[in-house]
Structure 1
Amino acid sequence: MKTVGIITEYNPFHNGHLYHLKKSKEITQSNFCVVVMSGNFVQRGEPAIIDKWTRTLMALKAGADLVIELPVIYSISSAEFFSFGAISLLHKSGIIDSICFGSEHGNLKLLSQIANFLYNEPEDFKINIKKYLSKGLTFPKARNKALLDSLRQNNIFESENELNEILSSPNNILGIEYLKALKALNSSIVPFTIKRKGEHYHSSNIESSIASATGIRKAIKNNKYDILFKTIPKDCAELLLETINKGLAPVYLNDFSLELNYVLRTISKKELKGFMGITEGLENRIFDLSANNFFIDDLVKKIKTKRYTLTSIQRSLLNIILQIKSEDFWEFHKNGGPQYIRILGFRKSASFLLKKLKQNACIPIISNFKDSYQRSQGLIKKMLEKEVISTNIYSLHYPNSLYRIIGKEFSSPVIILDR
């Protein structure tokens, strides 16, 4: 029996995700699908619009067999570290035969060529990055221009326009990073890709049954709930609407403005530099501009420059709010990345996967969070503590104050779908 791994956020789960999940099983000829999913905070540097347990149940209802959590340390990291963390979990599980990711381009051969080149990083490539950074470009843009120069010299090139399009598309970028991580881990997992269908990743248009998560989140913010049943599988749409009606969603980045301002008013610039992502003088812009911009949405727009992208700024601000420091991240990363495999949910019909996981995984398996937290120590305990803190902060912003309780990590059991 074969098992395919997919890396997701499901923010929220929609018809495009359903297509990806089904197609992944089909083209890899897999019997089971294991999902690595971000928790309550996602790679765009935002809180997930709905909590991770609800999103886990959505995934299981839609056909996923086992859902594993990507630790928050990695879920709000750059594409490179987000991808490494997720691939590392799949690799260390010992039960994954293949991965299948969505991409705007759909050409695995070309994406692999680019990934191999970036993994090896020739000297001329490094020099060109520094050259473009010195001209004030953001790191992603500097790397893209340096890559174009180097690929042209090495004849790994389709056309400049095509390459620019590849390197400016979010799912292509993540796909390249997944391929790099597989290479770095010397993994036997076989990669596949599916060409993305429907609206563009950032599109807010909803003109078909396959819309972007961005568009769906915008519709939710504008209370256009009828759109949910057009763009989301029926079971998942009903669950999402039920969660909203209870006051457990939606949650937005701007909701965390008070926490951010509290931290900024109680620490120095020197202390601010210790948080992950605060580099190259960013602490000065955050401190200076936060004096007159209380809300995160306004602050991010003011801080943005050619060098700092919106998402990188949002990730940095989340690191401040969630108290994730650079030394924490690098301690985890230099010691193998994710320290455990945390199970969020599974289907009873896939219980076989759990037995196989316990036999093959080379890092601890966590199914009872409270018990593991009490017994753990060292880096495992430290990583679990980050989840406790991030969930306690996330739950402060449920619309219904009755649910803003502390300790949800300890009281929330693994989701088991009885089918």
Structure 2
Amino acid sequence: MKAVGLIVEYNPFHNGHFYHIHSSKEKTNADVVVCVMSGYFLQRGEPALLPRRVRTMMALEGGADLVVELPYIFSSQHASWFARGAVSILSELGVDTLCFGSEHGDVYPFLELAKFLQNHEKTYNSLIKEYSSKGLSYPNAAAQAFSALEPEKSWPDLTKPNNILGFHYVRALRELHSSVQPETITRKQAGYHDVQISEHEIASATSIRRSLINEKMPPSAIAHTIPETTRLQIERFLKHGDQLYEWERFYPYLQEKILASSLEYLARIYEAEEGLEHRFVSHIKQQPSFHDFMKACKTKRYTWTRLQRLAVHLLTGTEKQEATTALSPGKADHIRLLGMNKTGQAYLNKVKKHVGVPLLAKMTKRKTAQQKLDERAALAYYMPLSPSQRILKWKEEYELPPVILS
């Protein structure tokens, strides 16, 4: 069975994701689609709009065959660690190809770019430090450093978000000496950061979330941008009395965590660098909403995404030493199974003897550093619920098996 791997968040699953799945399968002539999906907290430092079981079902109904989780320590990270964790899982699962969406649309220049930056790594890193010292955020410093190296104009533009991730996927494949081959398809229509829903059938996940959360649109109002199965899943979720998960729901708990903690403790939190804990304490006393808090904290040097990731690690209590220990293997040390159909089951049965890390259907009692953080992320995610609802959700975390789509 030939397998193609995808690295995804599905926040939520929309028509662009449907196109990605089926185009990737067609382009690589694959029999199986394996998705590594972020769990409760995502790469840009946001809570997932919907719990992972709901998003897993969306993925399976949209064409995925096997869905596994990207551990928290990788899912809420900058691009290099995010990519490394996900690529390590796809490598363990023996997929033939990793297919990612990109603005560039041609995989060969990504390979050339990875070789180029590897050959100029010391200069590149030195330039990033130089530009960062001038007050630029890391993404802007990296973009300036890349430009200073005078790359070929035909290579991917590393100011584009999907090109950046694609480059890090290719680099992770090289660093891990993976046999998985990279491939890419061109991102269609909507831009990654587009905030307004268009009349097109493919809209950005950002604009879809904004419509559902900020503008309080019902799923039916954005039905042209999402598969019917996604619309039904969201409606079913809301019908059961829950609300979509977004930062404002977590803000009271973030306030409590920061204001009830000492500065010494806050300084131990992962990504609390250069005195950011002082900035957080100062502004969280004054700002009535998470959005206002982020606006107050944001500077030219500290991007919204960077600050949100620190906020996530505060919410989960992830300390620097814990993160260092969890990242020390340099890859995922387990694979949590989230869902599959019959094709996915058949593929899993074929490859599981060759997988070099534990395959987990449920949370185990003895946990690695990565698994302990996964557990805390699950506990933190359900904070906005009532105590009785939290207990129910936490119990499901331990007892429910993977989603099986018959």
Is 2:399 aligned against 1:408? no
What secondary structure, in the 3-state scheme, does the structure 2 residue paired with 1:407 have?
helix
- Check conservation: 2:334, 2:357, Cα contact below 8 A: yes
- Check conservation: 1:2, 1:32, Cα contact below 8 A: yes
Partner residue, 1:13: 13
Percent identity of equivalent pairs? 36
Structure 1 segment 349-364 matched on structure 2, within 5 A: 349-364=343-358
Partner residue, 2:217: 224
Structure 1 segment 168-247 matched on structure 2, within 5 A: 168-206=159-197, 207-221=199-213, 222-225=215-218, 226-247=220-241
CA displacement at 1:336 relative to structure 2: 3.1
- Check conservation: 1:49, 1:249, Cα contact below 8 A: no
Which sits farther off after the overlay, 269-278 or 287-296?
287-296
Partner residue, 1:147: 146
Deviation digits for residues 21-75 of structure 1 (CA, Å, limit 9, x no counterpart): 0000111110001000001111111111111000000101111010000011111
Deviation digits for residues 392-418 of structure 1 (CA, Å, limit 9, x no counterpart): 2212325x8863333331133210001
Is 2:285 aligned against 1:285? no
CA displacement at 1:290 relative to structure 2: 1.8
RMSD, aligned α-carbons: 1.8
- Check conservation: 2:101, 2:187, Cα contact below 8 A: yes
CA displacement at 1:115 relative to structure 2: 2.6
Structure 2, unpaired ranges of 5+: none
Q: Which runs of 4+ in 1 moved over 6 A?
A: none
- The separation in 1 between residues aligned to 2:113 and 2:140, in whole angstroms, is 15
What secondary structure, in the 3-state scheme, does the structure 2 residue paired with 1:335 have?
coil
- Check conservation: 1:276, 1:329, Cα contact below 8 A: yes
- Check conservation: 1:261, 1:294, Cα contact below 8 A: no
- Check conservation: 1:248, 1:403, Cα contact below 8 A: no
- Check conservation: 1:73, 1:324, Cα contact below 8 A: no
Structure 1 segment 41-56 matched on structure 2, within 5 A: 41-56=41-56
Structure 1 segment 18-417 matched on structure 2, within 5 A: 18-93=18-93, 95-150=94-149, 152=150, 156-158=151-153, 166-206=157-197, 207-221=199-213, 222-225=215-218, 226-369=220-363, 373-374=364-365, 376-377=366-367, 380=368, 382-398=369-385, 403-405=389-391, 406-417=394-405
- The separation in 2 between residues aligned to 1:57 and 1:266, in whole angstroms, is 38
Deviation digits for residues 297-343 of structure 1 (CA, Å, limit 9, x no counterpart): 21111111111000010001110111112211221222233210110
What secondary structure, in the 3-state scheme, does the structure 1 residue paired with 2:338 have?
strand
Deviation digits for residues 170-228 of structure 1 (CA, Å, limit 9, x no counterpart): 11111111011001101110000010012111112322111111111112122322233
The two structures have a TM-score, normalised by structure 2, of: 0.94
Structure 1, unpaired ranges of 5+: none
- Check conservation: 1:388, 1:407, Cα contact below 8 A: no
- The separation in 2 between residues aligned to 1:265 and 1:390, in whole angstroms, is 20
- Check conservation: 1:392, 1:408, Cα contact below 8 A: no
- The separation in 1 between residues aligned to 2:233 and 2:129, in whole angstroms, is 49
Which sits farther off after the overlay, 232-241 or 260-269?
260-269
- The separation in 1 between residues aligned to 2:376 and 2:109, in whole angstroms, is 41
CA displacement at 1:121 relative to structure 2: 4.3
